[in-house]
Amino acid sequence: MATAAAVTTTIAVAQGGEPNSAAEKTLPAAQHAKKKADGKPEPDARGVVLAVHGGAGTALDRATTSPKLEKAYRNGLSKALRAGQKVLNRGGSSTDAVQAAVERLEDNPLFNAGKGAVFTADAGHELDASIMRGSDLKAGAVAGVRNVRNPIQAARLVMDKSKHVMLAGEGADDFAAQHGLRTVTQDYYFTKARWDALMKEKAAEAGDTSASKSKELRADEQSKGTVGAVAIDHDKDLSAATSTGGLTNKLPGRVGDSPIIGAGTYAKNGVAAASATGAGEVFIRGAATSTISNLIEFGRKDIAHAAYQVIVKRLPQLGGTGGVIALGPDGAFDAPHSSPGMLHGYLKKDGTIVTRIFPDESPANS
């Protein structure tokens, strides 16, 4: 059981700059657990302008996670937040900020989006992404792309340069190439860790019980399929974006919630921006992110109650777990998850960056 030790890693960051000091804000993990368990959740943080996640799944273990790996995860989340921060600091839009943040996560092989995407059952890569602007509910998405280096850029193109919301497969790849996006061959996405996970998954599927408990599959489960970002800008416009490589050993052509507006991604000004991660089929059936928004807009719930109700209470009843990052127009932020862990972090107005990768890291409640 968690103790009341320091559990949140906070990096104070000067606006537009690199980390300039290290500090810690603490809250007993037991207090946080009680806050969530008693049905009266409070936002994880206030004054947030940008947040990212790196996937929900099994929890990272402090005892077995090396300092090097912990630093790599935190740096990956922090670099994504700093990329979005640069956009916001120069007066850019929240849409540009979430795109910039997700691009950094897509380029990081630690996460399952872009470089480092998982393999399908036929040893290929099919990637999905979506983006939504809260000011006018414009959205764009791509599904099953195989040759776009940064799928979130293709999703943005669909939103800005077409009359459609989603393009899939070869059509989406062609559309991206025609508009000058950088294309790659399938081997660009390859990482040995993801290949090893596919081999172990196939062995487990064939009846090898030891494979199902392998370190390769445990590592694969720690980042369960998705990255995402939510932001609010100087005009109070909300935006959200999500990108994924999907599930290891998924059937070719399978599409999860990440490119589906209202399931994996949703943003509406004055209400909320949300990006989800987890069991995609369940998040589709439960219309996860739009339901959070609707509970706020029509049910008059606050951001923490709405997100907690959907992610922790409702979706597990449909047979799947996961998490969400949700941001309100007042800067209230919450990141509930029914999975054991969820990699995420956020940026506050004052430039503070907070990253959370371990399950006993509790909100600063500030």
> Catalytic positions, please?
226
Give a three-class secondary structure readout of 77-113: HHHHHHHHHHHHHCCCCHHHHHHHHHHHHHCCCCCCC
Q: Which residues pair with residue 250 across a beta bridge?
A: 120
End-to-end alpha-carbon separation of the chain, Å? 24
Within 10 angstroms of residue 40's Cβ, the number of other Cβ atoms is 11
Q: Distance between CA 306 and CA 198 in Å, rounded? A: 36
Place of tokens 């777990």: 321
Cβ contacts of 220 within 8 Å, gap of 6 or more: 118, 193, 194, 197, 201, 248
CA-nearest of 289, 341, 324 to 134 is 289
For the beta sheet containing 9-13, the strands, ordered from the edge strand earlier in sequence to the opposite edge, are 19-24, 9-13, 353-356, 341-348, 48-57, 227-232, 238-244, 127-133, 138-145, 166-168
CA distances from 75 to 26, 72, 221, 229, 265 (A): 20, 5, 20, 16, 24
